Chain A
Amino acid sequence: MNAPRLIFADNNATTAVAPEVVAAMQPFFGPEYFNPSSMYEPALKVAGALKAARRTVAEFLGGAEPAEVVFTSCATESNNAAIFGVAAANPARRHILTSRVEHPAVLEVCREMQRRGWEVTYLPVDRQGQIATADFVRALRPDTLLVSLMHANNETGVVWPVADWARIAKETDREIVFHTDATQTAGKLPLDLAGEMQHVDLLSFSGHKMHAPKGVGALFVRRGTRLRPFLLGGHQESGRRGGTENVAFIVGLARACELAREHAADMERIARLRDGLEADILRTVTHVEVNGHGVERTPNTLNLACHFIEGESILYELMSHGICASTGSACSSGSLEPSHVLRAMDVPFTAMHGSVRLSFSAYTAEADVRRIAEVFPRVVADLRKLSPFWDQKHNRPRDDA
């Protein structure tokens, strides 16, 4: 039997590199190998490519200035650089405001700041994964240094009104620095740092979530933001990030930004596919919930919680049908802890372990989604047959479950 066609539905984890991106990068693995800082003529071309890439990324961010774009190795680095850098440049203020559902690249840095003596407030979320704006307002303090709240959640896709929160923060106190991790929205939702998001000071994102390769990201640093460099040892990036520029990957990131703009309409198609699949599954599978249901989500993400079965086994069976997805279940994580996001959302324990995240991209075909709609109910039914919490005879949860 032939192996089934691979259906990649884990695009919030990473994405396939676009062929256009590979082509754009190619020359820099060949004849254009020069260090962009070098003085001789051939290096000028490489420096020019770097400059053009910076301009493209600035445009992608909705009219940022090229000088406001700092290239990094990934969003994790951008987040580290943002939080540590702001704290180091503003030692008088000691309070950081973030949420319980941030990516570990923010959460763990905030915990480290606590160990170093800063105070951190972790805002709670409701059952849909949202933060009440009133909670946000009340948590702002006179000594608040930094707000770090993600634009969209990587597990549920729930989008937050960070532009509005940034405005409120600035209207409260201009000295507050506002950072957002936009790793899950870059390439999916428009980022408008000169317009709607004009009060956002720092914004992180990564290349490999938007069809550029792994190993490149960026940090938007609004002009005038107090930030101490995180990576010392070079004049590159105007002294804000030492290290010879990863030109090939930076050019790849810029190409991916261009593609994202060209294919903005694709996101509507993906949203339709996602919504269709969601409706299908809710119709064909009982005792399943959509995490983040009914609130604004990134167009490509569907997070399902299936009661009484375990996520890792769901993934395993999906894989046997050629479908790649991910789960927030404990068994899948190194720590044997279920997803901190779903816990913060108070997803019932019976369902938390059965959570599955399907995330699509521009390369997801309608046939792929149809196949998932067909396979998923079978997988759930198969596993429920094995579940001690499932009443096999009546095909419903056992009364004592």
Chain B
Amino acid sequence: MAWEYSEKTKRIFLDAVQGKPGTHLGEIEDADGVGQHGSIVCGDALKFTFRVRKNEDPLKDVIVEAKYLTFGCTSAIAASEALCALIEGHELTPIEALKIRNQDIVDYLEGLPQQKIHCSVMGAEALEAAVVDWAQKRGVDLAAQGVKLTGETADDDGRVVCKCFGITEPYLRRKIKELNLRTIDDIVSALKAGGMCGACRYAPGGLQDILNETWGTGEPAPTTVAAEPVADTGISQFQLFRKIEKVIDETIRPVLKGDGGDLDLVDIKGWTVYCALRGACAGCLGATRTLQLIVERTLKDQVDERLRVVPV
């Protein structure tokens, strides 16, 4: 699929590559903050630099100039340009600048194709790295200022696994161990990786493969409901089935027969009881509901609260 960029993205890109006045291509010498993100291996990389108007109190430093060098596609360059435009001329301190998130870049560009969101993430990451650099140079303790880094700062080279969020393999491997992520759902919640298009979940070298390599394929997944043992009831499976049958025969069936219907017990697996309605009940629109209400409630009350009924 060819990328569908907004008119603004296209214009910013063309202005930037043609070096029109007001664009920010370049590198500031002796910059006060330098941040990099991405690598040639990833397919895009951004070097972001800014200069501040220094104050006696470094916390009052204000960013006055921002430039970038970007190796990457149309949207990577436009996103870099957007980042600089959002920062420059707004009298922001570096810590204030950190509030700019990738979504701000996306909004500035009037949207990015879903698969290109990582270009905006790259901008936000490079900004964060540059602020960290500035803080070191100026002796500012970011943590003491209550600044929380998102943790993906500029040290991850390597293959991008999740393309939507631009998340790399080394980062994933580190975080999977660090946060004890065991399933794809864990990863999506913790890192967002795999949460957008989902294509990287089961692709070769994708999230499941990395999980398997980290934790091993291990024991077969615990079997669910269907085989759940009936160990803790104090009665054997056989006795449980007898009890279910007894309740159906003596309590449930007479009620259904009162309405001209009947019920077949098809199977019982673990706590799941499969029933089919016969006779007058079968044609009744409320048949499924009848089963759920009467049969399940009665079985729960008279046999075990854990029983479920599946109409078949």
A residues engaging B (CB < 8 A)? 36-40, 43-44, 46-47, 50-51, 67, 85, 88-89, 91-94, 133-134, 137-138, 140-144, 164, 168, 171-175, 223-224, 226-229, 232, 238-240
Given A39-B2, A172-B226, 20 extra CB contacts under 8 A: A36-B1, A37-B1, A37-B2, A40-B2, A91-B217, A92-B219, A92-B220, A133-B266, A134-B274, A137-B266, A137-B267, A141-B227, A142-B269, A143-B220, A143-B223, A168-B274, A168-B312, A172-B272, A224-B198, A232-B204
A227 and B224 alpha carbons, distance in the complex (Å): 20
A–B pairs, 19, beta carbons within 8 Å: A36-B2, A39-B74, A44-B4, A67-B197, A92-B217, A92-B219, A93-B220, A133-B312, A134-B264, A137-B266, A137-B274, A142-B269, A144-B226, A168-B310, A172-B225, A223-B198, A228-B203, A228-B204, A229-B204
B84 within 8 A of A: no
Contact between chains at B197 and A92 (CB < 8 Å) = no
Q: Contacts of A174 on B, CB cut-off 8 Å?
A: 224
A-B contact count (CB 8 A): 97
Q: How far is the CB of B62 from chain A (nearest CB, A)?
A: 39
A88 and B212 alpha carbons, distance in the complex (Å): 13
Chain B stretch 159-218: residues in CB contact (< 8 A) with chain A: 197-204, 208, 217
Leading 6 A-B pairs by shortest Cβ distance: A142-B227, A142-B223, A92-B220, A239-B199, A47-B2, A92-B221
Q: Contacts of B2 on A, CB cut-off 8 Å?
A: 36-40, 43-44, 46-47
Q: How far is the CB of B227 from chain A (nearest CB, A)?
A: 3
Q: Contacts of B308 on A, CB cut-off 8 Å?
A: 171
Q: A92-B221, A171-B310 are in contact. Are A228 and B202 (CB under 8 A)?
A: yes
Could you mark each residue 14-48 of chain B with 1 if its beta carbon is under 8 Å from any beta carbon of chain A, else 0? 00000000000000000000000000000000000
Q: Contacts of B217 on A, CB cut-off 8 Å?
A: 91-92
A226 and B310 alpha carbons, distance in the complex (Å): 25
Contact between chains at A239 and B3 (CB < 8 Å) = no
B residues engaging A (CB < 8 A)? 1-4, 74, 197-204, 208, 217, 219-221, 223-227, 264, 266-267, 269, 272, 274, 276, 308, 310, 312
Contact between chains at B3 and A39 (CB < 8 Å) = yes
Q: How far is the CB of A211 from chain B (nearest CB, A)?
A: 27
* Chain A: CB-nearest residue to B219: A92
Q: A36-B1, A43-B2, A172-B226 are in contact. Are A226 and B201 (CB under 8 A)?
A: yes
A141 and B197 alpha carbons, distance in the complex (Å): 31
A81 and B32 alpha carbons, distance in the complex (Å): 54
Q: Contacts of B4 on A, CB cut-off 8 Å?
A: 44, 47
Contact between chains at A141 and B226 (CB < 8 Å) = yes
Residue picked from B3, B198, B200, B219, most chain A C-beta under 10 Å:
B198
A51 and B198 alpha carbons, distance in the complex (Å): 18
* Chain A: CB-nearest residue to B274: A137
Contact between chains at B1 and A172 (CB < 8 Å) = no
Contact between chains at B267 and A89 (CB < 8 Å) = no
Contact between chains at B274 and A47 (CB < 8 Å) = no
A86 and B276 alpha carbons, distance in the complex (Å): 30
A238 and B115 alpha carbons, distance in the complex (Å): 10
Q: How far is the CB of A286 from chain B (nearest CB, A)?
A: 36
A164 and B117 alpha carbons, distance in the complex (Å): 40
Q: Contacts of A140 on B, CB cut-off 8 Å?
A: 226, 269
Q: How far is the CB of B111 from chain A (nearest CB, A)?
A: 16
Q: How far is the CB of B42 from chain A (nearest CB, A)?
A: 15
A238 and B197 alpha carbons, distance in the complex (Å): 7
Contact between chains at B204 and A173 (CB < 8 Å) = no
A138 and B268 alpha carbons, distance in the complex (Å): 9
